[in-house]
Amino acid sequence: MRLLTSLLMLLLCAAAHSADIPDSGSANTATVSNPQFYIKEVDDAWRANLPRAADAATQAYMERLPAEVVARSNAYFEGGYWLLLWNFLLSLTITIVLLSGKRSARIRDWALRIGRYAFIRDALYGAVYSLCIWVLSLPLAIYEGYVREHAYGMGTQSFGSWFIDNLKSLGIETVMLAIAIAILYAAIRRVGERWWLWGTGLATVFITFSYLVWPIWIDPLFNTYKPLDEGQVRTSVLAMAKANEVPVTNVYWYDASRQTTQVSANVSGIFGSAAIRLNDNLLLRSSLPEIRAVTGHEIGHYVLHHIYIGILEFAVIIMIGFSLAKWAMNRLLRRYSSQLGLQGVADVASLPLLVAVFSVYMFFMTPIDNTLTRVEEIEADRFGFNLAREPLGAAEAYLKLTEYRKPDPGPVEEFIFFDHPSTRFRIHAAMQWRENMQSQQSQH
């Protein structure tokens, strides 16, 4: 998970909707598994004797999770709650470091001496700001992205490989952040008091742009994407996609195993483009019914226009955030601008203060943001049930998600911290679909 240390990083680093569910097939790569995660295997006889009632069937699936697996999953996922807090506090600490002693103002003054045009000066400030964030965030990033993932048996990279990927991200984000900051502050200077509305519009454009370019230009910098071999998997996936008018002619797999043992898949693309991408962990750890379940879910995201809905929801959230930021910045700058060396909201040196205001807003918006995403995941699950008609395959896939997602949280916990439904919720939904379909079949 990326650090929420900058509003504009949040705008530019949008992730495509992902089911995070396993798959199967030929990826021409070595088998990858997590020896610290396992579920009790069953045979066709167990599935044939599975209770018809959704509650009983769900419990039968949940009982296949060993206690040590559940304990490890709970510890990993609950640790994320604390990381959410630490990342929030870190973003505020970075703001204090940059604003105290007029450091941000000194960076601005340096950019003024170097840059001939305002756009260049603001871009230079943005680049230095990005580097400052990276340096100050690095200890927590190493713990969160490397140490912790290896401690729970999910990280597969050496530290050198992980650090190179981190440097790649730094380079990409520095360039994009520099450009975004220059554009934002050019707009703020031009439109005056209406800057919050223009900020909302620009943020929406940035997030849409990132959805368009990230899968095509950025993701291949970190992983290798190749067409999936001919076979049942490819045939089944393409048939389901074409039946729902998803404009694809191929299915791709990528070498996620070089970074993690986690399983995932996605259907990315906007404005008439689409790409179905399955990671190699997913391809090597599950059955064809699970493939059909995950593909149905991913196609659901695309057919239900969740990317566009997400962009609209993002625009509303950001508009509210910018309006609150305008109110807060006016008051904070009136009181502290002179001692911080800031010259108003149009001064690029005030960016850390804007980021701090937005960090507070987004921190308290976490349950709402998670709920919006979770609702879309539930909708995609239901679409997938109807398309793939593989409730048992879906349930098997959901069990695998316990590797990194707490399987059975309380309702308040799920509302606040879960951007996907829990394992129990999703299996129960699949078993309800199965029960209802069996009831209909018995009536005919």
End-to-end CA distance of the chain: 49
Tens of pLDDT, residue by residue over 220-247, are: 999 999 999 999 999 999 999 999 999 9
Under a CB-based contact definition with an 8 Å cutoff, are residues 257 and 32 in contact?
A: yes
Task: Say how far apart CA 108 and CA 114 lie, in whole Å.
Answer: 10
Half-sphere exposure (CA, 13 Å, Cβ side) for 116? 0
Collapsing DSSP to helix, strand or coil, 379 comes out as: helix
Cα–Cα distance list, 204 to 146, 169, 173 (Å): 32, 22, 17
The dihedral built from the CA positions of residue 67, 68, 71 and 72, taken in this order, carries a sign that is negative
Residue 172 in tokens: 């990409």
| Residue among 248, 351, 227, 266 at smallest CA distance from 23 | 266
Collapsing DSSP to helix, strand or coil, 174 comes out as: helix
Q: Is the pTM of this model over 0.85?
A: yes
**What pLDDT sits at residue 17?**
35
**What pLDDT sits at residue 33?**
58
**What pLDDT sits at residue 22?**
35
**What pLDDT sits at residue 31?**
40
Tally helices (H) and strands (E) across the chain.
18, 4
Read off φ and ψ for residue 308, nearest 5 degrees: -70, -40
| Residue among 147, 113, 49, 125 at smallest CA distance from 352 | 125
Q: Which residues of the chain have pLDDT under 50?
A: 1-32
Tens of pLDDT, residue by residue over 10-64, are: 443 333 333 333 333 344 433 445 666 778 889 999 999 999 999 999 999 999 9
Q: How much is the mean pLDDT over the chain?
A: 90
| Residue among 129, 114, 124 at smallest CA distance from 179 | 124
**What pLDDT sits at residue 140?**
97
Under a CB-based contact definition with an 8 Å cutoff, are residues 172 and 218 in contact?
A: yes
CB atoms within 10 A of CB 367: 15
